[in-house]
A = this chain, B = another copy of it.
Amino acid sequence: MDLTGQNFIAGAPAGGRTPLRAVKPATGATLPPAFLEADAELVDAALAAADGAFAAYARTSAADRAAFLRAVADEIVALGSQLLERAQAETALPPARLESERGRTVNQLRMFAALLEEGSWVEAIIDPGDPARVPAPKPDIRRMLVPLGPVAVFAASNFPLAFSVAGGDTASALAAGCPVVVKAHPAHPGTAELVARAVAAAARRSGIPAGVCSLLHGWSHEVGLALVRHRLTRAVGFTGSLRAGRALFDAAAVRPEPIPVYAEMGSVNPVFLLPAALAQRAEQIAEGLAQSVTLGVGQFCTNPGVVLGIRGAGLDRLRVALAGRIGTTAAGVMLYQRLSQSYAAGVARARERSAAQLAAAPATDGPTRAAPTLLATDAATFVADAGLREEIFGPASLLVTAADGEELLRAAEALEGQLTASIHGTEDDLHAHARLVEVLQRKAGRLIFNGFPTGVEVGHAMQHGGPYPASTDVRTTSVGATAILRFVRPVCWQDFPDAALPPALRDRNALGIWRRVNGELTKADVARA
């Protein structure tokens, strides 16, 4: 398949304006073809196509929508080595990682297909009427979740497949019954085009309206802001930096009709090391931490950017082992040059803010290299200096030493909202530090015991999202089955005739889903009074 470099509206190439080429981060060389930036007219065309497709798409049966999601997965797999090679050239991520990321991408599409087939996610609630009630007859009320409408999805740079064109937000929005308009990330436009065309092919062969997915390129902020401001956009999904995410949130908040913005903006993912665990296995924890910090050149939202422990022999052992391991990990190529520059600047800024540099990997040549780095400070400085609590995106971590448990608690209290918080400890440690666990539960969306935050399991129970600034909406997740709840709203029908109700709410439970009837979960049919 030859790349066109065009924007894609409802599955068809649609031209564009200002050209820009993708850059191969490993060498700085540009890659063909030229990609064309979208403009306000293309944004409008994409949203009009999405809105035009919405009614028909929202009406598709769960089985048809599930078949479509599975077809998207199959078409992505069918892109074969072309997809992996293009993604590798555009992102410098190693082939094995991209292959496993492709697996995750198709698995989450198939997970949502299975969720649709099971069907209970619509949360059907039925309160049958009672015409004989006094003083007034009780109406028959039936409620379920319905799709919001067109969703703008912003692809992330660090997961060119799993958080990009057919990534988590797209999969959950399509599953919910919402068309999507994806803004490609400029760091991997070719990967984006390939996947967008796979989605279009899946729609064609599944009989799904082409308007359910459009792809727009944008280098300036204008395309993204136009997407968020467009009157037909009903929700926004974003994964990226705090600055960009907040800008989209702010733009949505001042719309005449505000819309939800789900911006997942990363965090420092603190890892707390409790004394008994360190006494038992400081070196083993150091090994796991070093791997987690340097994995994928540290380019994960869940990268452990802060490690905290209480002064003592155990923490000393950990420090030595961690510094040794991080100082000898090779520098890696980051996703694009501005990231590696920000990384270097972030490390330098932390050092100016009196964080000591304990270890740094040897620098290597090349425009987008980042050397793993371990910084250190004490808890009092960490609490006093908000700048040290900011994320440095890349393979760096800051080791924070507290004088005692109280100071450790104060450091925890000083943290902003986090995607994750990890605790290494024994069960006795957990018991002795119960207040710490309580504080961390207020700070984070996911609490991890004796593990590391990188590696986000895609399943029913995953919560990937946390209090601001980890995300702009603490009530939802961007990973896992419940992500579908981002793109729906409840509607209730009062006293409607059975045939005019959506199938999920009819007396006969032909779909065989769980429903709450008179307050009780059941798969039984409903008897009308």
Q: Show the binding face of A for B, using Cβ within 8 Å.
A: 55, 114, 118, 120, 125-127, 136, 138-139, 141-143, 146, 148-149, 249-250, 253-254, 257-258, 260, 417, 427, 430, 437-438, 441-442, 444-451, 455, 457, 459-463, 465, 467-469, 472-477, 481-482, 488-497, 499-500, 514, 516, 518-519, 521
Contacts and interface: CB of A to CB of B under 8 A. Distances in A.
Q: How many copies does the complex hold?
A: 2
Contacts of A467: 257, 489
A300 to B, nearest CB: 15
6 contacts: A127-B459, A139-B451, A141-B462, A143-B482, A149-B442, A258-B472
Contacts of A474: 148, 489
Contact of A463 (B451, B473, B492): B492
A494 B446 contact: yes
Contacts of A148: 474
Nearest to A147: B442
Given A55-B438, A258-B249, A461 B120 contact: no
A459 B491 contact: no
Describe A's contact surface by its main secondary structure.
mixed
Given A447-B494, A490-B445, A490-B475, A143 B463 contact: yes
B496 A477 contact: no
A445 B492 contact: yes
B461 A127 contact: yes
Nearest to A124: B461
Contact of A141 (B254, B459, B491): B459
Given A468-B257, A475-B490, A495 B455 contact: no
A86 B440 CA distance: 45
Contacts of A473: 260
A417 B402 CA distance: 53
A506 to B, nearest CB: 14
A446 B142 contact: no
Nearest to A143: B461
A441 B139 contact: no
